[in-house]
Every structure is written in C-alpha cells, then in structure tokens.
C-alpha cells in the first residue's frame, strides 16, 4: 500500500481515533501518544492492510488495546498510592500486607485472562468509573452487552478469588 492510501483512508480517521483514546484515557497527551503510536505501527505494517477486512475496525481495535495497555500500566504504577492496595502501609501488619498484595495480583491475573471484551468493560467500569451508557458508547456495543459482559467478568473474578481463598485455607 502507498502513502496515498495512508493519507486518504487512515489519516482521516485520526480525529475519531483520538476521541476514542481521549475517552478511554481521560488525558489529551496520552491520547495523542497512543494515536501516534498506532499510526506508526499501521505504517510499518502497510503490506498487511489488504488482508484486514476493515481498516477502520483494525485501527479502532489497535487504539482500544493500546489504551487498555496504558491504563493497565498506569494502574500498576498507582498500586500503593491508594490505601486499599498499599502493601507498604504502616497501618497493616505483614500478614495483611501480603493478603492485600496477593488479592490484588489475583484480580489482575484474572482480569488478564478474561476475554478481551470483558476486560475492556470491567476496566472501564471498575477502574475508570465509566457509566454503563458511556461504556456502550465507547465500545460501540449495546447497553445489554455491557451488562452481560460486566456480570460475566465479575463472576469470573469472584470465582477465581473464592477458589484461591479455598486453596489458602486448605494449605493451613
């Protein structure tokens, strides 16, 4: 594919991609960075463009995934700033710190194992605090799909934590 195709088919999507990134990240600089990174990756993969069913869908998915990666990294960096997950808190005894850290790691591991659409929905709802309607709008899915995916994701996480707690009790 050529520079002309890039300029006529991909660059016009830049504002739409930026709006999606901004909506997910809530930070203009990060949104610009994500869109620029995705544009660079798209250009470097220009030989593959013909293989993709929808160039726009691919671009939107690439931006969503990049944003979620960035949010995940941001979340991991902020662990410890919030007292609920502050494993270094002086108010907690070593056992409580260990349990808090293991619980957090279990939730993150479980979230990473969820199907991508459930990961996105639970990330936007529970981490970023988006409303159901906002999630439906950002992800381009129905309100019912948001509710179903959130329900399934929460149940998977709850089941994983329950199983882990049961195994901890058996080990004692």
- At 38 the pLDDT is 93
Structure tokens at 56: 């726009």
CB 93 within 8 A of CB 151: no
Q: What is the CATH number of domain 1-78?
A: 1.10.1740.10
Q: Give the whole-angstrom CA distance, residue 44 versus residue 138.
A: 27
Per-domain boundaries in the chain = 1-78, 81-172
How many other C-beta atoms are found inside a 10 Å radius of the C-beta of residue 25?
22
- At 153 the pLDDT is 92
Per-residue pLDDT tens listing for the chain (172 residues)? 578 878 888 889 899 899 888 888 888 899 999 999 999 998 888 888 778 777 787 888 889 889 888 887 776 555 444 444 444 445 557 777 777 777 778 777 888 888 888 888 887 788 767 789 878 877 888 999 999 999 999 999 888 878 776 766 666 5
- At 143 the pLDDT is 94
Structure tokens at 143: 């309100």
- At 147 the pLDDT is 96
Q: Give the whole-angstrom CA distance, residue 87 versus residue 84.
A: 8
Burial class (CB in 10 A: 0-12, 13-18, 19+), 149: buried
Q: Which fold has domain 81-172?
A: Arc Repressor Mutant, subunit A (1.10.10)
- At 77 the pLDDT is 55
Structure tokens at 85: 């997950």
- At 27 the pLDDT is 86
């Amino acid at each position: 594919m050529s520079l002309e195709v890039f300029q006529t088919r991909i660059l016009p999507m830049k504002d739409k991609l930026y709006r999606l990134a901004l909506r997910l990240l809530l930070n203009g600089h990060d949104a610009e960075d994500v869109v620029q990174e995705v544009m660079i990756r798209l250009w470097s993969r220009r030989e593959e463009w013909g293989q993709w069913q929808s160039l726009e869908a691919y671009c939107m998915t690439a931006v969503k995934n990049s944003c979620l990666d960035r949010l995940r990294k941001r979340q991991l960096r902020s662990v410890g700033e919030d007292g609920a997950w502050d494993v270094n808190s002086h108010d907690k005894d070593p056992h409580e710190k260990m349990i808090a850290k293991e619980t957090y790691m279990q939730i993150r591991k479980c979230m990473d194992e969820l199907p991508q659409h459930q990961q996105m929905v639970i990330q936007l709802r529970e981490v970023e605090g988006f409303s159901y309607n906002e999630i439906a709008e950002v992800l381009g899915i129905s309100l019912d799909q948001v509710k179903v995916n959130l329900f399934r994701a929460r149940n998977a996480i709850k089941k994983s934590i329950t199983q882990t707690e049961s195994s901890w009790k058996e080990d004692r």
